[in-house]
Every structure is written in C-alpha cells, then in structure tokens.
Amino acid sequence: MSGEVLYSYVKFPQKNKGRKAADQTSTGDGNDVTYADVKFEEAPSAQKEGKESDVTYAAVKFAEAPSDQQQETPIGTADPSVCRVFSCRQVALVVTLLCLLLMAAMIFLAFYPTVSFSHYAGVPHCPQEWEMSSNKCYYFSNDTMDWNSSHKNCTSMGGHLVIIETVEEQRFLSEKAKQILNNTILTKKEMSHWIGLTDVVKEGDWLWVDNTTLNSSTVYWATRQHDGGKEPDNYDKLDTSGEDCVRLLPVKNNTLNIWYDASCSAYYERICETIPQLV
C-alpha cells in the first residue's frame, strides 16, 4: 500500500511553532502563509499494528495562497498616491488661507485705488529753481524773450509753456506773478509772463502748445482798464500781423481775469511747466 496514508497525527506543542515553521520554509517575501498543502507519507509499521504513537515523519509543502484570496497590505507599504486625512486637511487649510489673502487684496485695491506708493516708488521732486503745485512743476523766468523763443527755452528744459487747466491753477499762477511783481523794482510799465496759448494758426481758434483746444470753462480774458474793452482784441497798430499770443499780466485786485493777447514778437518773461520726477 505504498503512497497511501494509513494513519496521521499532527501535534503542535505551541500555537506559534507551526507559523514559525511556515516562515522558515517560505520564499522570503515576508507575507504570511495562508494556504498549505500537506502530504503525508506512509505511516511507520508501528501504526499498522494499531499502536498509537506520535507521527515521526511528515513532508509538509507550503504553497502560495490562491489568487482569489484577499491579501492584507503590509504596514508601511501603503499606496503613496492615497491622500492621508491629516495631510489633506493641511493642504485644504493652506488653500483656504491663500484664497482669503487674495480676496482681501482685491477688496483693498477696489476701495483704495488712489493709494500712494511713493514710499516705494520715490518722492515727486521738481528740478532746481522750479516750484511744485498740484503735482506740476513751474518755472518763472527772470529774463525776457519773444513767444516762440520762450516756448523753445521751456522745451529745452524738459517742459513747455504753461497750460492752464483748472481755476486753482489759474489762481496759483496769478498770485505767484503778483508776488514777483511786488518784489521787483519796477523799471518797466508792466511785467507780463507768456503762457502756452496762441491762435497763430487760425485767427480766433485758440490752441494750447499741445494742440488741445481752449476749454470755454477755463477762460480768463481780462477787461482793459483804460477803455473797458474786452480781451482778446487782436490789436494791429503796433504789429500788422495782429496779436496771436497770450500773456498773463497780474492785476492788483484781480486774480483770475488777467489774460491779454499780444504780438508774438514782443518780449516778456515766461512761465514753463513740467511734471515732477520720482527720486
């Protein structure tokens, strides 16, 4: 009866010895044995005689677990692509904080569009001998030139003959011109300053030196004191070409309506303007 199992008796003295033996005969992959194929050879002759005895020989073969058996994932070898709960919460917290900061910046810029960054970009500064007012730099000359030479001189200094855009600007220039007049020993009948307004291209069409049209809301023509006439009058008795350029003449009791047209070849002082530089 070779090959037949007549009698077998398996006795494991301790619970873990069987697993220990399995571990020692495993292929070294570190996984628990979940399936074993045990083959017993023919029992010794003593068993044939009906005597009870311990099994002294057994061939044990451990095979791999069947493919349909679910295997546990060993500790420490979890799929790295799986997001841990704690890590996901940290990422969500960071994203939330960034969104709140972005929202706060957008609200700040929406309600404070004119915030000044001069602390970082520099401080507005006018060139030497120029005076700042309302974010413009002004130069009041001491010498006299005709209108065209005056404009070229202003351009050579990085500016142009002044363009008056607001009533506040007109008042500032008038007060400054009056101050200069009061501090000067009068050797002339009058002290006027050229401004950047002319109708030399077409009579009656007044343009600033940047080719913009004179705005009717910022017009400050004077009334002549000697005859009560209204400027401009294009007087041509002294210059047959007429009066195509504008000068600003300070008057004691008037700070607004002090514009007079004059011959462009006449010599007067000038007012230049430019924009401040950041330093």
| pLDDT for 214 beyond 90 | yes
| pLDDT for 56 beyond 80 | no
What is the distance between the alpha carbons of residues 274 and 54, in angstroms, rounded to a whole number?
A: 115
* Phi and psi torsions of 152, nearest 5°: -65, -40
Per the model's pLDDT, the better-predicted residue between 221 and 183 turns out to be: 221
Averaged over 62-67, what is the pLDDT? 50
Give the range of the structural domain holding residue 203, as residue numbers without chain letter: 124-278
Exposed e or buried b per residue across 15-25, where buried means at least 16 C-beta atoms within 10 angstroms of its C-beta: eeeeeeeeeee
Same domain, 152 and 247: yes
Which of 55, 72, 89 is the C-terminal boundary of a domain? 72
Same domain, 63 and 148: no
Same domain, 59 and 178: no
Q: Return the half-sphere exposure (C-beta side, CA atoms, 13 A cut-off) of residue 194.
A: 33
Longest dimension (CA), the chain: 159
The count of domains in the chain is 2
Residue 96 counted as domain residue: no
Averaged over 264-268, what is the pLDDT? 96
pLDDT for the residue 69: 47
Residue 256 counted as domain residue: yes
Residue 199 counted as domain residue: yes
| pLDDT for 253 beyond 70 | yes
Q: What is the pLDDT of residues 117-158, one digit of tens each?
A: 444 457 889 999 999 998 999 999 999 999 999 999 999 999
Per the model's pLDDT, the better-predicted residue between 58 and 190 turns out to be: 190
| pLDDT for 82 beyond 80 | no
* Per-residue pLDDT band at 258 (split at 50, 70, 90): very high
Same domain, 143 and 27: no
* Per-residue pLDDT band at 112 (split at 50, 70, 90): low
| Confidence (pTM) | 0.56
* Per-residue pLDDT band at 193 (split at 50, 70, 90): very high
Residue 138 counted as domain residue: yes
pLDDT for the residue 39: 53
Residue 114 counted as domain residue: no
Averaged over 75-101, what is the pLDDT? 71
Which of 29, 52, 72 is the C-terminal boundary of a domain? 72
Same domain, 67 and 177: no
Same domain, 26 and 147: no
Same domain, 128 and 241: yes
pLDDT for the residue 219: 94
Same domain, 134 and 24: no
Question: Which of 37-51, 164-178, 214-228 has the highest average model confidence (pLDDT)?
Answer: 164-178
Question: Which of 13-17, 82-86, 93-97, 164-168 has the highest average model confidence (pLDDT)?
Answer: 164-168
* Per-residue pLDDT band at 182 (split at 50, 70, 90): confident
* Phi and psi torsions of 69, nearest 5°: -85, 130
Averaged over 247-272, what is the pLDDT? 90
What's the CATH code of the domain at 229?
A: 3.10.100.10
Averaged over 191-215, what is the pLDDT? 95
Averaged over 239-266, what is the pLDDT? 90
Among 50-64, 196-210, 217-231, the range scoring the smallest mean pLDDT is 50-64
Residue 81 counted as domain residue: no
Same domain, 130 and 194: yes
Same domain, 242 and 146: yes
Dump strand ranges (E) for 29-159. 36-39, 59-62, 124-125, 131-133, 136-140
What is the distance between the alpha carbons of residues 274 and 279, in angstroms, rounded to a whole number?
A: 15
Question: 230: burial class by Cβ within 10 Å (0-12, 13-18, 19+)?
Answer: exposed
Same domain, 129 and 53: no
pLDDT for the residue 13: 52
Q: What is the pLDDT of residues 14-30, one digit of tens each?
A: 444 444 444 444 444 44
